[in-house]
Structure 1
Amino acid sequence: MDKSQFTPLQWLDHWAETTPNKVFLHQPVNRVVQTHTWSEVKNKVESIAASLHHLGFTKGDKIAILSKNCAEWLIADLAIMRAGMISVPIYPSANPDTIQYVLEHSEAKAAFIGKLDKWQDADVGVKGDVVRLSMGYETMPCQYDWRKLQTLVADDQALPIHAPDLDETISIIYTSGSTGNPKGAVISYRAFNWANSEIVSLLEMTDKDRMLSYLPLAHITERCFVEGVAYHANTTLYFTESLEFFVEDLKYANPTAFFSVPRLWSLFQKNIIDKIGNSKLNFLLSVPLVSSLIKRKIQKGLGLQDARLLACGSAPISPSILHWYHKIGLNVCEAWGMTENCIYAVGCFPFEEKLIGTIGRALPGCEIKTTDEGEMLFKSGGLFDGYYKNEEATKESFTEDGFFKTGDLAQIDPETGAITIIGRVKDNFKTAKGKFVSPVPIEKMLAQDPHIEMLCVLGSGMAAPVALVQLSEGASSLPREQVAASLKENLLSVNNHLESHERVGAVVVVSEPWTPENDVLTPTLKIKRHVLHKQFAERIEELKGHVILWESDL
């Protein structure tokens, strides 16, 4: 059989047979690393799968996973597959209402409950008859603990091997949409396998590679780029114990491939500049004999000295940050994908500096085109089957010739094939002047100011667009006059490159950080523009004579 079509279960059997003693998972607990070999993982998977059937769950039932990343997350996921059931991952940072909605909408019969920062809050969302299965960490009350699930069924009562058909559903992944309730994307084994196989081939992943799993496994990026790739390539996975030990655990893993989000790349940059100083760093990099030494020292300090592949996604990243990393010898490739296409779609692989500012080119096996209005359309073997219990949304999401409507506005360079995202169809707004504005390109230009951590441009029905800004940690401690001067200079520079109806009338520095907890960010740290519009629209609609001001002054 063509191994590119192996399911995760077939890979589990394959590696447990050919490399049984190879350590697959490294999980730190109380600063002691617990290891799991392929054979140990398989034994636990089969025991837990048998227990799921023993508890009365049957083929096709939905089983949720509510936990931060850990070795047990993958074991639970594989056990759900082995039992012929369907996983429904839930973000560990999800609020109780979202947890309840996903459990009820998916009709989940049970939920594996693992590492949670605030399990008392999450506990409120796990209602009804959902059976709680503990993953072995201190968490909410559960009916069955992790050890019990491994011993509930005797070894001589082995579960019949489930060999899923490729068209069966492997998982229902609820998108962390920036508007409305999340939609459940139905992912088949076929799509999941295809995407993972393509990723492994493109990135040349092997059993020599190491990855740190820390971005939410409830998100498609981590499910495919990390979990799925590990199954296909026999890659070794490491996990973090907590945010407190993130840097320590990253250095311990010493990954050869590392994927992150703009916020973390920006934080790494800030910490390096704060420690060395920007002027001093630029001078050291300009001295040939010293340059390579300082680059190596920085890379080792981050735990990325052996990283041959670095990537960024989830949200736009400032080109200046990518150029800065290139200058210190770390080539960060920007990539784009969606839950609906198993994240494999567009990327700057291999790295090319000239592609900075774009999301790269269509990856092998992917077809991309744009409509007359500029919306990007997509087709590949990794497309999802549709939205769970939402035929109308599914039908509206596809063209007659089978292309998925991404909702992103894009430009494709006819010569290089490089794709630039210029906004979201639903993000464009009309000002009081009756002119449409696309906020994303403006936000990317404003983001060049190092004092800015995050920003959001609003303007629907307003006299002129207004930028809401969350300051970086360092900028928050600086004198207001200094920060205001920098923001004003940046604003004037950006406005000089915009059409008159696009020009930002004011910048407002917000008082409270934007987080998933206060519902301004999604679990994947995307800004909910409609939430900020509701909070600020009336207060900032008629700002006159105040180019830069603080929210507290409104």
Structure 2
Amino acid sequence: MSQTIVCSSCSKGDLTNTKHFRSVESPKYVLCEECFETEEHEHKMFIDDMEDCQHQEILRSHFSDSIGENYKRVFERYWSRPCIGEFDSEHKLVYLSYLEIYYRSLLVAEKLYPYIKDQIQPGSTTFVFVSSPNCVEWVFAEYGCSFLGLILVPVHHSSNIAKIKNLLSQTYPSIIIASSEIVGKFEKAIKEYNEALVDKKEKEKKQEEKRIPTPTILVINKSDFGKIPQEKLSKFTKQLNQGNKESKGKGKSKNRLFLDPNSAKTKFMFKEIETLSQKYIIKRSDEEIFTITFTSGSTGNPKGVFFTNSVWKNRCLKFYKSGFPIVAFFWSSFMESLERVGLIRLLYSGGRIALSSGINYMLEELAISRPTGFTATPRIFDMVYSQYHFDFEMGMKKIGKGDHNKVKELQERLRKEYSKRFGDRLQFLATTGAPINKKTFAFLKETYPCKILDSFGSTEAGSLFINNAIIDPSVEVKLIDCVPLGYYAPNYGEICVKTSEMFSGYWKNEKANKESFTKDGYYRTGDIGQLVLNEKTKKQEIIMIDRIKSICKLSQGVYITPNYLEGVFEKSLLIDQIYVDVSSKYSFLVAVVVLNRKYIDENSIEISERMILNELIEIGKLNKLESFEVPKAIYIERNIKFSIENEMLTVTGKLKRLQCKKRYKAEIETLYDQIEDEISQSTEDKNGALEDQESGNKSIDQIIQKILNCKELIKTKSCYELGGDSITLLNMGSYLKKHYNIYVPNHLLYSPIKELIQFVENKLSNKKDETNIDQGEVNYKDDLIFPSKFIVLMNSQPIYPNIFLTGSTGFLGIHLLYQLLLIKSVQNIYCLVRSKGVDDGKQQLWNRFLNNFVNLQENDNNNNLKQAEILFNTKVKIIPGNLEKEKFGMDNDSFTKLANELNLIFHIGANVNMMYPYSILKGPNVDGTKTIIELSLTNQVLKGKIPIHYTSTISVIPKDHPDIENFMEDSDPLTVEPKLTTGYGQTKWVSEALLEKAKKEYNLQILIWRVSSIFCSTKTGFLNDRDFLFIILHGFIYMKSVPKNLLQNQWDLLPVDTCAQIMTYLAFNKPKECFKQKCLHLANPYKLKFHEIIDGLNDGNDFGIKELEFSKFRSALDNSLNTKNPLKAFHTYFQYDKNNIVKRKKRHLDTTKLINLLDNKVKIPKIDKMVMDKYASYIKYYLSNLEK
């Protein structure tokens, strides 16, 4: 309920529905009509600026169905108030009253009428172009057209001839109202357009017939446009004074109101209006078109958004709810529909509006007009914040950084100064048109003692949200899947809305109309949002993420928001404007920079490209940007600024990306070529391989026995059966290659030793080195057949949410187990462990747990070992078994009972070994996967479908795959039989194929996690000592050297704890989205060059790893093969041949979908100094234990 209004002088009762006056300067000071008319009054200072303030409800209740009639009632209700003001030549703000705006708008209608009187018929579409900078004559034209029912089409005054011709082709006008400086452009555009329409074949006969009549052009700033006829006014004034001489001096209040009701001018306007309104206010039906507004075209060609009378009326019938007085400052062009609607809403509320003279005078004019609210795009507020930042930096130069008290005083003084920049009546500041930078938004909140509003809306849908909250309960909102960007409803997706303010359609653009609406009639805004519940209000809110068209992708699959980056970089004192270019062809950004000449000149700064690049890098670090978000090269634009006039900015100040890209096409391509050349040069290998000629005198038997470290060499058994693991066998293969120049196929290392000896002796006698020997036959087709016994065996009810986990003793598996322990809803984790029994398996698993978390010190999030032990003993259930055995070695009843208790399967277990052939790895890796599928199908509680999460490997991608350098998550390595060189990769390929087949044949829910390179834990620094990376880093530490040409290789190392966090977060928070994916890639999008790893190890440690030319490193390696050098097992890898890790072809897993699904809930860390210090600490611990 509204408060009772009481006279401040006589305390007269409720004045809500009676005539009363309120002070603009002191809104609580109210006078009834009698007290206001009193000649003497003690509060004269308040009386001088009073407004007739009838309650708005009176006006609201009298609104009609006609827009023209509503405008009329508004002007008549508030006739005596100041309405619209402009700054004169002396920069004083001069207002016109509502009555004068009304009258002069009717004069415009009277002027237009003769030109279109024959076209004013029900259903007619008579277009009128209006093109001018904001001025009061623009308002006359707006309302003059509205009174006559003409369709107003705003055209920005900076439009070029091509754009005008495009508008002519869609909405050919009968009248053009334009400012004098752009009339010539319209005349030329009309001429060119009409000539193009003439059919050349009939030019002579029908030229005049085919040419459309030339529109009438009225110049908006000519003396007769909307001006009061002075001769008529003078004559009326003379008659009035002669007939009413006694009126002079009567009415003491005539100077107290903005407009004196007894003046000759006022009475003259009232008399004229009575006649004009009867003739020139024409009612139109709700279905007829009211106006067409063309979009800015910042992301493509402008589209004509049209509104019917009904929709426009609904948009405008919203009163401003801010307290009295209502004073606004308009700077944005009236060609924006939101600006025009805002103007009408203010007038409906009885407010006053000051029109800006231009952006150069904005801050000065804001201080003069003292608005109660100000709305602008983020770029305007960014500009204010940048100026504040500039003033702060200048102040800091004077006082220095050491005196904290003076710094604080400077901040307080500047904030106080800036808090008055928008005047002293401010009730709110609102940003609209684009997402605002967080730092700018924080600056506004800290500086201005009023409401700070972040609003969202669009030309098509009107105002929708303020500070994430839905403004109007009648607005219907839903999210739909945005598959290309990986956003899925109901929590994330493209924002779609229904509202009574919805636009009526795109003019002559059926394609856009179809694309812009869902089948059930929701408008697709083109913005990505997140639906969240406000805990305080218990209402749904929308958090804006970004515009779909503003999100661009680099070649490595990561998404970039250039608009955001531009806002960040423009905070630099050296940069005025910046355009960041994004291309999916490249993995880096380039930019065009416009310098801040004022700052640079005032400080006599010598500018270079390197200086600007360094500035961008520093800003990137300060704002925690990723390295790929900082441009690698720039072009400095020294001649122009981006502006509306040169078509680089939209009318709302947004960058026209397509126009910028087109204008600087040559410069941008040069920048890309320049960086590509630098990358190619830096990664080019300059070292050749050395041929090894050393040979030994030992027998093959002795060599094998020594390497295996066994007392007796049983030749009927394989090296594998005699205790050799993959590293041992790799050592053997390297030794034979090194000393005998014999390449031994992997499968022979797992065959009986007598066959291996025979092979070597044959090679020595033949003196041949055939390296292209098959590793043994792999029967893919047979292994891809499911057994017919996959059937559902029994039925029972679930008891608890239970997880089945394989590979729990492995590096990733133990960290995944830890994450599962922390999830409250998980009550039982069944771990498959190769053990003698339950107790043995549990002890084995706990020992592995302690080994992996040996350095764990943090206590946050229940990370301490004591709490972990409690969770472990409560939740972990050991299943003794083996992946190689049928049903894991369990009997049918036990297998079936287990299946019926499960809710989810994580199949991590595998024999991870790059040396074993397919035949050795088939049991655990292929047959084990078949048993997992059988386990899922045996469950009847979940209708035979236990969801499966399966970890695969990058090794399933053949080295000759065409997409190997940017392998997408949708890419398929299964389309053809693989040409894989490792048994591990082969078994994983077959397993993926089995799972894909199971999805199709049994409709299973399956997600494949394809893993690249797993690195140490960010908490403990622990890295599996059998891991390839661990071994070579251990070797480099041992040798205190690293080959120089390895340093530029890139690694996508993902910490093991992050892997586990990602898998559990998505599995438990986004199961629906997960199983929509074919595969997700577990890889780090932030690539790391190998030299950064080495630098991280050297920094602050005593490892002393030095760079060596390849030849010198290889020589040092050769000389250390008889020592404990861990690299001796990988001796053959450091050669210039196809097995050389230095020259291996780049393999890169795209992680686009993964990153989008995570939506920053799990942060993927860079491998920075903190992580490397953790790893260095652990490796020191490892080496000290190794010595013991």
Same fold (TM over 0.5): yes
Query: Contact between 2:590 and 2:672, CA under 8 Å: does it hold in 1?
Result: no
CA distance in 2, matches of 1:294, 1:475: 18
CA distance in 2, matches of 1:278, 1:322: 23
What aligned pairs does 1:155-554 form with structure 2 within 5 A after superposition? 158-159=278-279, 161-198=281-318, 200-201=319-320, 204-205=321-322, 208-225=325-342, 227-243=343-359, 245-275=361-391, 277=394, 279=396, 286=408, 291=412, 295-300=415-420, 302-329=421-448, 331-342=451-462, 344-348=463-467, 360-364=468-472, 365-373=474-482, 374-415=493-534, 417-433=540-556, 437=560, 439-440=562-563, 449=572, 451-471=574-594, 473=596, 476-477=600-601, 478-480=605-607, 483-492=612-621, 497=626, 503-504=629-630, 506-511=632-637, 512-534=640-662, 535-536=664-665, 537-544=668-675
Report which stretch shifted further, 118-127 or 244-253: 118-127
Query: Contact between 1:464 and 1:505, CA under 8 Å: does it hold in 2?
Result: no
The corresponding residue for 1:78 is 143
Query: Contact between 2:373 and 2:429, CA under 8 Å: does it hold in 1?
Result: yes
Query: Contact between 1:455 and 1:470, CA under 8 Å: does it hold in 2?
Result: yes
Task: Name the amino acid aligned to 1:30.
Answer: S
Report the secondary structure of 1:542's partner residue.
Answer: helix
The corresponding residue for 2:71 is 12
CA distance in 2, matches of 1:458, 1:51: 49
CA distance 1:510–1:125, change in 2 (3 Å): farther
CA distance 1:391–1:5, change in 2 (3 Å): farther
Q: CA RMSD in A?
A: 3.6
Task: Name the amino acid aligned to 1:196.
Answer: C
TM-score (ref. length: structure 1): 0.82
Report which stretch shifted further, 512-521 or 502-511: 502-511
CA distance in 1, matches of 2:436, 2:312: 27
* Residues 1:135 and 2:220 are matched in the alignment: yes
**Greater RCO (Cα-Cα under 8 Å, separation 6 or more):** 1
Give the CA deviation at 1:466.
0.7
Give the CA deviation at 1:185.
0.3
Q: Deviations over 1:408-463 (max 9, x none)?
A: 22233344655444333334444444665554555566566565444444333322
Q: Deviations over 1:185-225 (max 9, x none)?
A: 00223333333334x35xx1466211112210001231122
CA distance in 2, matches of 1:249, 1:38: 22
CA distance 1:135–1:397, change in 2 (3 Å): same
CA distance 1:43–1:19, change in 2 (3 Å): same
Task: Name the amino acid aligned to 2:105.
Answer: V
The corresponding residue for 2:883 is none
Give the CA deviation at 1:184.
0.8
CA distance in 2, matches of 1:428, 1:311: 24
CA distance 1:493–1:40, change in 2 (3 Å): closer
- Which one of the candidate residues 43, 50, 53 is aligned to 2:110? 50
CA distance in 2, matches of 1:484, 1:135: 48
Query: Contact between 1:133 and 1:146, CA under 8 Å: does it hold in 2?
Result: no
TM-score (ref. length: structure 2): 0.40
Report the secondary structure of 2:339's partner residue.
Answer: helix
Q: Deviations over 1:281-330 (max 9, x none)?
A: 99679469x94x76443333x24221111112223332111212222225
Query: Contact between 2:369 and 2:423, CA under 8 Å: does it hold in 1?
Result: no
CA distance in 2, matches of 1:123, 1:545: 48
5+ residue gaps, structure 2, are 1-59, 195-213, 233-271, 483-492, 679-1188
Report the secondary structure of 2:176's partner residue.
Answer: strand
Q: Deviations over 1:160-188 (max 9, x none)?
A: 53233343322100111124431110022
Query: Contact between 1:136 and 1:146, CA under 8 Å: does it hold in 2?
Result: no
Query: Contact between 1:171 and 1:186, CA under 8 Å: does it hold in 2?
Result: yes
Task: Name the amino acid aligned to 2:109.
Answer: A
CA distance 1:125–1:319, change in 2 (3 Å): farther
Report which stretch shifted further, 213-222 or 277-286: 277-286
Give the CA deviation at 1:126.
5.3
The corresponding residue for 2:176 is 111
State percent identity of aligned pairs: 19
CA distance in 2, matches of 1:206, 1:193: 23
CA distance in 1, matches of 2:502, 2:554: 36
Query: Contact between 1:411 and 1:422, CA under 8 Å: does it hold in 2?
Result: yes
Task: Name the amino acid aligned to 1:488.
Answer: I
CA distance in 1, matches of 2:77, 2:281: 19
CA distance in 1, matches of 2:509, 2:534: 39
Report which stretch shifted further, 64-73 or 363-372: 363-372
CA distance in 1, matches of 2:63, 2:669: 55
CA distance in 2, matches of 1:189, 1:251: 37
CA distance 1:33–1:533, change in 2 (3 Å): closer
Task: Name the amino acid aligned to 2:583.
Answer: S
Query: Contact between 2:86 and 2:356, CA under 8 Å: does it hold in 1?
Result: yes
- Which is helix-richer, 1 or 2? 2
5+ residue gaps, structure 1, are 139-143, 349-359, 548-554
CA distance in 1, matches of 2:274, 2:284: 23
The corresponding residue for 1:38 is 98
CA distance in 1, matches of 2:77, 2:443: 43
Query: Contact between 1:423 and 1:440, CA under 8 Å: does it hold in 2?
Result: no
- Which one of the candidate residues 81, 99, 119 is aligned to 1:22? 81
Report the secondary structure of 2:644's partner residue.
Answer: coil
CA distance in 1, matches of 2:179, 2:356: 14
Number of equivalences:
519
Q: Deviations over 1:326-384 (max 9, x none)?
A: 22225542222111013x11222xxxxxxxxxxx2332232322211122212211110
* Larger gyration radius, structure 1 or structure 2: 2
CA distance in 2, matches of 1:446, 1:413: 30
CA distance 1:393–1:285, change in 2 (3 Å): same
CA distance in 2, matches of 1:440, 1:244: 23
Query: Contact between 1:23 and 1:37, CA under 8 Å: does it hold in 2?
Result: yes
CA distance in 2, matches of 1:28, 1:115: 19
Query: Contact between 2:386 and 2:571, CA under 8 Å: does it hold in 1?
Result: no
